[in-house]
Structure 1
Amino acid sequence: MYKLFYYPRNASWAPHMLMVEMGLRHELILVDRKSNAQKSESYLKLNPTGRIPVLVDDELVIHESAAIGLHLCENHPESGLIPDMGSLERPIFFQWLFYLTSSLQSELMVYFYPQRHTENPDEAAAIKQAQEARVTDMFALIDCELEGKNFLVGHRISMCDFFLFMFAHWASDFDKPPLSFEHLGRYLRDLAKRNSVVTASELEGTNLDIYR
């Protein structure tokens, strides 16, 4: 049985939704960020970066949410959540996965933690404002990509969709939130109805009312 070390709405959310989508037996283990449990000695033995999530698969321990997601998808190819080897959709899948997890997520982290990117506390608000504009432009690009499409890659849901849903939810408080975009907003509302998204969100105590 898989064990997922998680905290609600953190980067563990997408792997959690993936496991529910696949119907995998798993155990959720809460890492209490409020008490800084991700920096505890026992947790650092699992993930020396001190970040969430961690997946334990028998003797294998994996951190980084995208690596966890890929491991799950490749361990369970019958789920169809990653395009087949040799298909034309496979490189496009990796293109968007890396854009989401390397570019979009990284820019969001600067937005949420601006104080880590300056030695002058007075500059944090300006950094946050600039980052919101940068990330909004990235959502605008994705909005264009989703015109006439139900999913980000091909004609069926993939791992990328769960990661995009997670990152878009993180930006719900933006002046121009992802839901306000025509195609991205429609896409997010549709995903929010999916059983795996609903179930994982309920288990984590995440309210999805904004998508109704």
Structure 2
Amino acid sequence: MYQLYYYPLNASMAPHFVLDALQIEYELLLIDRKADEQKSDAYLALNPQGKIPTLVDGDLVLSESAAICIYLAENNADSQLIPVIHSSERAKFFQWILYLSNTLQAELMLYFYPEKHCDNERQAQAIAKKQEQRITNMLSTLDAELANKTYLLGEQISVCDYYLFMLAVWSDEFAKPPLAFEHLGRYLKHMAKDHAVVSVCDKEGLSLADYQ
């Protein structure tokens, strides 16, 4: 049975979506960030970086949210959460999962933790303000991509969609939140009806009222 070490609304949310979408047995193991449990000796033995999430599958211990999502999709190929090998859709899948994890998520980390990149509060505030502008531009790119699509890859839901929903949740307090975009907003409201999204948001304590 898969074991997912998680914290609500953290980077573990995307793999949590994927596990629920697969409709297979899995165990959730809470790592309390408020108590710095991710820095405990027991957790560091699993994940030396002290980051959440971590997936355990037998002898395999895997970190990095996007890597976990891809692993789960590839090992449960019947779910069609990742396109088949050698298809053009698979190439696009990797384009978007890397964009979401390496670009959008990375920019969001700088937005949320600007104090790690400067020496004083004034600089931190300036970084956060600039980051919001940069991320809003990225959301515009995604909005345009979704103009004539149900999902990011077309008409088939994939890991990319669950990952994007997680990042959209993180961005919901922006001056122009993801829901304010025409196509991205419509897409997110559709995603909010997905059984895995509904189930996981209930478990993690996130209200979907704004998405109705």
Under a length normalisation based on structure 1, what TM-score does the superposition of the two structures give?
0.99
The residue type paired with residue 150 of structure 1 is: T
Partner of residue 103, structure 1? 103
For 1:180 and 1:90, locate their aligned partners in 2 and report how far apart those are by CA, in whole Å: 29
Partner of residue 165, structure 1? 165
- Three-state SS of the structure 2 residue aligned to 1:156 is coil
Partner of residue 60, structure 1? 60
Number of matched pairs:
212
Partner of residue 116, structure 1? 116
1:143 Cα offset (Å): 0.1
Partner of residue 10, structure 2? 10
Partner of residue 24, structure 1? 24
Partner of residue 211, structure 1? 211
For 2:168 and 2:204, locate their aligned partners in 1 and report how far apart those are by CA, in whole Å: 17
1:210 Cα offset (Å): 1.2
1:59 Cα offset (Å): 1.0
- RMSD, matched Cα: 0.7
1:40 Cα offset (Å): 0.8
Q: For 1:1-212, list aligned pairs within 5 A.
A: 1-212=1-212
Question: Structure 1: any 5+ residue segments left out of the alignment?
Answer: none
The residue type paired with residue 49 of structure 1 is: Q
For 2:207 and 2:13, locate their aligned partners in 1 and report how far apart those are by CA, in whole Å: 13
For 2:45 and 2:9, locate their aligned partners in 1 and report how far apart those are by CA, in whole Å: 23
Question: Structure 2: any 5+ residue segments left out of the alignment?
Answer: none
- Three-state SS of the structure 1 residue aligned to 2:187 is helix
- CA deviation profile, 1:22-46 (whole Å, cap 9, x unmatched): 1110000000011011111111111
- CA deviation profile, 1:63-101 (whole Å, cap 9, x unmatched): 000110011011110000000001111111100000000
1:202 Cα offset (Å): 0.8
- CA deviation profile, 1:115-147 (whole Å, cap 9, x unmatched): 001123320000000000000000000000000
For 1:189 and 1:123, locate their aligned partners in 2 and report how far apart those are by CA, in whole Å: 36
